[in-house]
Amino acid sequence: MRPTRAALLVVATALTPTLLLTAPAFAAGLHAPAITVSATSDIPVDEMSEAELRTAIADILADGNSGVAVAREANEALSGTVEDMRGFLKTGYRLAQAEDDRVAVAHILFVATANGDKRVIREANQVLDDGSPEALRAWLETGYGPAQAEDDRVAVTRILFLARANGDKRVAQEANEVLSGSPEALRAFRETGYRLAQAEDDAVYISRLLADPKTSDALRAAAQAALDDGSPEALRHFRTVGQYEVGA
């Protein structure tokens, strides 16, 4: 029975880390693992001995990319009969992998929705609506990477526009550099580089505020506290919120 979209959302939310830009590793251009019966044998499943069946399933379990459903079904097959193992390799593996892929796509959709990544949102919804194991696998292997790269390029372009408007030189410089680079460079900037570059520009902004003789004592104290903290979050909060909360 296919999980409902609501049930998938619960699982995806539970898997989502604090940093919303995080997504499966194969999104950055690596391929998701192909669904194969055995990494060590070309023998048809119906002709495998019990030992060969166990070896084939053990190979699947040893794959670090195997998901929860695949591991669950593989272990159940190993605890069962020869026909249970044969059935897992012939049909159960494909269906279990589809279950894991469905959860992965739902996780991607949750993150993309939080980040406003329109193409990823559109394509993830489409593949979840299709629901076939082949559609899920194909999108994870080849569709998600280009979609995320397009959304990253749009996001970085917006970041560049705002940086120029705000006089944030470091952000503008790095955004320009990654816009002419690879999908991996766009992703890395959006995940980590932007935060650090923005912190540098925020620190420069606050230092200029401290150097301005017109800055009030209260504002000066708040600005100095943000600089002393030094975290990107503290600097950003002061610049965007904190300075406007300080009385003149």
What would the pLDDT profile of 49-105 be if each residue is shown by its tens digit? 999 999 999 999 998 888 999 999 999 999 999 999 999 999 999 999 999 999 999
Question: What tokens does 45 get?
Answer: 């499943």
How far is residue 196's CA from residue 193's CA, in Å, rounded to a whole number? 5
How far apart, in whole angstroms, are the C-alpha atoms of residue 233 and residue 211?
A: 22
CB 124 within 8 A of CB 143: no
Q: Is 121 helix (H, G, I), strand (E, B) or coil?
A: helix
Q: What is the distance between the alpha carbons of residues 221 and 246, in angstroms, rounded to a whole number?
A: 10
Structure tokens at 41: 């044998």
> Quick one: how far is CA 43 from the chain centroid?
37
Contact (CB, 8 A) for 133 and 97: yes
Rounded Cα distance between 78 and 60, Å, is: 12
Question: Which residues are CB-contacts of 190 (< 8 A; sequence separation ≥ 6)?
Answer: 21, 152, 155, 156, 159
The pLDDT value given to residue 64: 84
Burial of residue 246 (number of CB atoms within 10 Å: 0-12, 13-18, 19+): middle
Six token digits for residue 173: 């410089």
d(CA 158, CA 40): 49
Can you list the residues of the chain whose pLDDT is less than 70?
1-41, 247-248
- Nearest in space to 2 (alpha carbons), one of 134, 136, 98, 108: 98
Q: What is the pLDDT of residue 90?
A: 94
Q: How many angstroms separate the CA atoms of 88 and 85, rounded?
A: 5
CB 27 within 8 A of CB 144: yes
